[in-house]
Structure 1
């Protein structure tokens, strides 16, 4: 309960301060009169009847004074609780303004479609969607230590929600665009989209960091003449701010989710541009390879026969061994820093020894081997020669 002065009760009516004092004086006067009369009876040998008369004479005044003060207390309490309720309503309104929606919107799968070549944005930065709710916008850009008063929203809870949205939408876009990618490789692509390095860069590119209310040590230039956060800490905070902004833009209005989903699809298309273009690149048919020209075997979109199977079907026979071996030491993939493997496809048999048919590279040896087989199938001169060897051998064996 908040403290209120008696002056707050003097704004009219019987509960005014002067009336309360009058009631107190009346009670004290009645009590003193009772005391004096009782003191006068101390030497009386038979005081009982007289005491009863004295009590009867003074108790009415004492009771009236006491009752008046009780009424004063009741009225004062009524005013206090009335003011408290008004204050509580204001506090409730403030609290309501600082609460997130009870239900978070979930994007329908149909809204998160595969990337196409047309989706790759022509500019590096598609327009930043606005946050249409001022309270959420302020919260997304405010550090917990910089809020105006206790209970105000800040970026941390929005960051947590934004992180979930980023994971959901990036997973959906990758799954739709690269249907044959392994879960491990899909996770690697997703990590490129949602890691702190990527998100913090977006924050700086859009200038969101210039609108934040954060301690000076998290500024890109640090606190002049004072403590500075490490570069890793700065990246983490800038990435968190981006996640908080995403959540605020989604929750800020009914159309926020659709608007942010379209924006992220365009923004991320530049990050995975090489992978998207490779996925939509026309895959070769191998009509130049005898035995594969009429059966419709393709690698289109990865849904045809695996290239290793096609290579074995084209040139494999009894006494022929096709092997896949590492070429050199793994390098580092430029985007993820993960090992980048190069594998060669080798041919042995029918008088040939350790013939390099083709090579391929990828983040996994399995994928690199598949790329090596595809590269070998595209080597028209070598394929023609080895297919002829196979045909001659089979013909001699009949």
Structure 2
């Protein structure tokens, strides 16, 4: 009776969401209970990951840099609609001679989907970011430490069938949890050809939102305001950074701000120089300054007026 109820909670999207809303600890406890039932039927499974390693509980201490505040709502876990795929997601290749019943192939496909979603998200979140910085931010989102942390948050570690010795090897165990997370992503997409990918994209966007909020914009971009001021500022001249329209709400709680930079001085009044977007007003302002600097004909004209000391045309 209890075993069936536990399985229903994990497999039903609505009930899983209720648990997630109540907190990650509750969802993890249900997953660990389900694992206990599975262990009773499969004595060869590894012992629960919550056992002590070096005197410390892995579940209590392995947060892998999630950055989530305690009690924060966990994004809805998209379901795997194919039960055989779901079973494979949580089965280590070392636990079966048939790789189709393990996550061996799934984690490769899941890794590709995660890379794609992360790249698109960073691309759209940080307009104008150079490719090198896009790669750096993407790596923060997709690295094993991050994915393993999410796997722990959802109780994937408690459902995993892995070799016993893995639990006493923290680095290998972390890599395994990351692989399981990647396999889960692939299984969601494969089990729902119509909505699977969009469900995964929405879910990952929400998961990554706290990390993106904490990321500093690249220093080269944050110097744009200073560079613009150096080119055209002078006595009695004003550069004004203005919200051009309200922030755009993104999935996961993020906002995109829109700021324009305007010049008053050297014969111009409230002259629009450029506009920019960003996750904060300061970032958006720097993007606006960068856009202004890229309008070289206008900036050169203003700089020439500044140099000559004569008023430009209104």
TM-score class, shorter-chain normalisation, is 0.5 to 0.7
SS in 2 for 1:272: helix
1:247-396 alignment runs, 5 A limit: 247-254=186-193, 255-274=195-214, 280-290=256-266, 293-301=269-277, 302=287, 304-306=291-293, 316=303, 393-394=309-310
Q: For residues 288 and 197 of structure 1, do their structure 2 counterparts lie closer, same or farther at Cα, with a shift above 3 Å needed?
A: farther
State the 1:204 CA deviation.
Answer: 0.8
State the 1:272 CA deviation.
Answer: 0.8
Q: For residues 139 and 175 of structure 1, do their structure 2 counterparts lie closer, same or farther at Cα, with a shift above 3 Å needed?
A: same
TM-score, with structure 2 as normaliser: 0.53
State the 1:126 CA deviation.
Answer: 0.4
SS in 2 for 1:295: strand
Q: How far apart in 2 are the matches of 1:138 and 1:208?
A: 12
State the 1:195 CA deviation.
Answer: 0.8
State the 1:172 CA deviation.
Answer: 1.8
Number of residue-to-residue matches in the alignment: 193
Contact kept, 8 Å, 2:99 with 2:105, in 1: the verdict is no
Equivalent residue, structure 2, for 1:138: 87
Q: How far apart in 2 are the matches of 1:127 and 1:154?
A: 24
1:162-311 alignment runs, 5 A limit: 162-219=110-167, 222=168, 229=169, 231-254=170-193, 255-274=195-214, 280-290=256-266, 293-301=269-277, 302=287, 304-306=291-293
Q: For residues 300 and 257 of structure 1, do their structure 2 counterparts lie closer, same or farther at Cα, with a shift above 3 Å needed?
A: closer
SS in 2 for 1:186: helix
State the 1:169 CA deviation.
Answer: 1.5
Higher strand share: 2
Q: How far apart in 1 are the matches of 2:109 and 2:206?
A: 21
Contact kept, 8 Å, 2:262 with 2:270, in 1: the verdict is no
SS in 2 for 1:145: helix
Contact kept, 8 Å, 2:111 with 2:182, in 1: the verdict is yes
State the 1:299 CA deviation.
Answer: 3.3
Q: How far apart in 1 are the matches of 2:78 and 2:159?
A: 15
SS in 1 for 2:105: helix
1:87-106 alignment runs, 5 A limit: none
Q: How far apart in 2 are the matches of 1:315 and 1:295?
A: 11
1:42-61 alignment runs, 5 A limit: none
Contact kept, 8 Å, 1:284 with 1:299, in 2: the verdict is yes
State the 1:135 CA deviation.
Answer: 0.7
Q: For residues 251 and 150 of structure 1, do their structure 2 counterparts lie closer, same or farther at Cα, with a shift above 3 Å needed?
A: closer
State the 1:279 CA deviation.
Answer: 7.9
Q: How far apart in 1 are the matches of 2:189 and 2:264?
A: 53
SS in 1 for 2:261: coil
Unaligned ranges ≥5, structure 2: 1-70, 216-249, 278-286
Unaligned ranges ≥5, structure 1: 1-121, 223-228, 319-386
Q: How far apart in 2 are the matches of 1:134 and 1:124?
A: 27
Q: How far apart in 2 are the matches of 1:281 and 1:307?
A: 20
Deviations 1:94-146 (A, max 9, x none): xxxxxxxxxxxxxxxxxxxxxxxxxxxx9552011121211111111111111
